[in-house]
Amino acid sequence: MRVSSRRLKTGLLLGATFFAGIGVVPLARLAAVQLGVTPARAEVENGNADTYRWLTLFGDVFERVRRDYVDPVTAKRLVQNALDGMLSGLDPHSAYMNAQQFRDMEVQTSGQFGGLGIEVTEDSGLIRVIAPIDDTPASRAGIKAGDLITAIDGKTVEGVPLSDAVRKMRGPVNSAITLTIKRQGIDTPVVVTLKREIIHIKVVKDRMEPHDIGYVRLSQFTEGADAGIKKAVAQLKKDGGGKLRGLVLDLRDNPGGLLEQAVAVAGDFVNHGEIVSTRGRHPSDSQRWDASGHDLIPGVPMVVLINNGSASSSEIVSGALQDHRRAILMGERSFGKGSVQTVIPLPGGGAMRLTTARYYTPSGRSIQDLGIAPDIKVAETAKKLAHFGPAHESDLNHTISNTGGTHTAPPRPDLPPVAGSIPARPPKDFPKFDPKHPTKTDFQLLQALRVLDAMAATSSQHAVAKE
């Protein structure tokens, strides 16, 4: 997302001010000097007399801690802790990153990094798993979306910043790490020992299902997501001898990623029109992204699978395809992260990840805290499982509000008749999911294939009738 030069420059100046305020000059007075005004004039010009008072308080606390804390503490540590608190206290997705954390983030979005292969977030002092990444130590060890990591190598994560916990989970290749997990439906701790690997994220997988229906799984929106989707669809066309009757796009447990990749992936199936828009605090920062490509499979029916682990970019794609009536959404309500974060580099090599806008689907929906509701609701399991931690954005602390848009999708009169016969849950005797036999043991996928088969048959009948 574009950030105006005015706002970026202001962010850099304030960052420099906080770092410079380590000397003997009180922090608030130094801030005023760097801005080129006296404290009194700054108060008048800014129309906020409290600013100087709060900066003075910060400077007083800073000096008292540095002078009287039981152990010596560096100014760098104090300032970084203050920046951590300033940003993380705004919402669950804003954060300060030091130079190492910033480099780690850049590596991760490139699609290759070292570690266990899990997307995590902070949750009431613990670490909650958003989703394991396919074919990684975490997924092979059976770590699940919604798991709460309570300890790393036997030491609690309570009070440990999320960035530090992530760093502890990374390390030399083949080194062992033990995670203690609190899992829904299980009363005793789950202890898992894994070996770290270099994580090469293969974000797109494809296979041909029965009746010439293709299946594409997108696990994350990294830099290679769009290219991977194009390659997968081309391969499915080839495997089907040019005959592709339907397509399942699986976005379950996809925690999101890069906004531009979400726009590109949605544009792979929508010929024209809006994909997503963003609205920030400043009107000049509002933007709209339209489809710029062409539908890779025009006329081929699609089903998109979503669940509570589908977040951010996954919700942008799902919402766009739903609003354009290009695909039927099946599964369960998505996570509900309807905000955009801008990464702004700071002096010293670090950066701030700041929530700068809300995004809206083509019909004007804000899904913040609400998520995307599927057109056909299908649960994963026969029995509803209780969650230890939050299952949706609305369960997190101090989330931003849902404002400025509508809250429900337009009616779908185009749903096929078979939609009314899809059960909301699998039968009690339905087998447990087996990754070696995914089609037979994935109830949501089975229902998606059923819907697509019926839609493809109807399309064929219409084509014959026209001839």
In the sheet where 376-377 sits, what is the strand order?
204-209, 213-218, 246-250, 302-306, 328-331, 376-377
Computed over every residue of the chain, the mean pLDDT equals: 84
* pLDDT tens digits along 88-97: 899 988 999 9
pLDDT of residue 397: 75
Q: Count of alpha carbons within 13 Å of 245, Cβ hemisphere only?
A: 21
Give the torsion sign (CA, 130, 135, 136, 142).
positive
Task: Give residue 393's pLDDT.
Answer: 85
More confident residue, 49 or 283: 283
Q: Where are the beta strands (DSSP E) in 133-232?
A: 148-152, 155-156, 176-182, 190-195, 197-200, 204-209, 213-218
Which residue ranges does the chain devote to CATH 3.90.226.10? 204-466
User: What pLDDT score was predicted for residue 3?
Assistant: 36
Joined tokens for residue 240: 């089907």
**Does the pLDDT at position 330 exceed 90?**
yes
The pLDDT value given to residue 285: 77
Q: State the catalytic residue, choosing from 318, 337, 339, 442.
A: 337
The SS3 assignment for 45 reads: helix
> Do residues 289 and 275 lie in contact, with contact meaning Cβ atoms separated by under 8 Å?
yes
Give the pLDDT confidence score for residue 460 in this predicted structure. 62
Kindly indicate the confidence band of residue 398, based on its pLDDT and cuts at 50, 70 and 90.
confident
Which of 163, 312, 318, 339 is an active site residue? 312
Residue 459: active-site member: no
Quote the pLDDT of residue 390.
Answer: 61
Residue 189 in tokens: 């701790």
What confidence score (pLDDT) does residue 32 get? 35
Number of alpha carbons in the 13 Å side-chain half-sphere of residue 137: 22
Kindly report the CATH number that applies to the domain delimited by 114-200: 2.30.42.10
Across 133-142, 172-181, 391-400, least confident range: 391-400
CB 359 within 8 A of CB 316: yes
Tell me how far apart the alpha carbons of residues 252 and 333 are, in angstroms, rounded to a whole number: 10
SS3 content of the chain, % helix, strand, coil (to 5): 35, 20, 40
pLDDT tens track for 187-203? 899 999 999 998 776 88
Which of 188, 166, 191, 169 has its CA nearest to residue 180? Answer: 191
pLDDT of 17 strictly over 50: no
Is the CB of residue 333 less than 8 Å from the CB of residue 314? Answer: no
312 is annotated as an active-site residue: yes
Token digits of residue 369: 């805290």
With bands split at pLDDT 50, 70 and 90, how would you rate the model's confidence at 34?
A: very low
CATH tag, 204-466? 3.90.226.10
Which 8-state DSSP code applies to residue 257?
B
User: Among 383, 375, 384, which Cα is nearest to 427's?
Assistant: 383
**pLDDT digits 0-9 by tens, 272-315:** 999 999 999 888 878 999 998 799 999 999 999 999 999 999 99
Whole-number percent of the chain with pLDDT over 90? 55
Catalytic residue check, 323 = yes
Of the candidates 457, 336, 350, the residue with the CA atom closest to the CA atom of residue 101: 350
Mean pLDDT of 240-247: 91
Q: Give the pLDDT confidence score for residue 47 in this predicted structure.
A: 54
User: For residue 153, what pLDDT band results from cuts at 50, 70 and 90?
Assistant: very high
- Condensed to tens digits (0 to 9), the pLDDT of residues 407-430 reads 888 889 999 999 999 999 999 999
Give me the count of residues in the chain: 467
* Average pLDDT of the segment spanning 206-226: 94
The answer to whether 28 and 52 have CB atoms below 8 angstroms apart is yes
Examine the pLDDT at 49 and tell me if it is beyond 50. yes
Domain with CATH 2.30.42.10 in the chain: 114-200
| Average pLDDT estimate for 101-117 | 72
Please identify which of the residues 268, 323, 369, 375 carries the catalytic annotation: 323
Mean pLDDT, range 365-377, rounded to an integer: 93
Give the per-residue pLDDT at 303.
Answer: 98
Quick one: average pLDDT of 397-412? Answer: 84
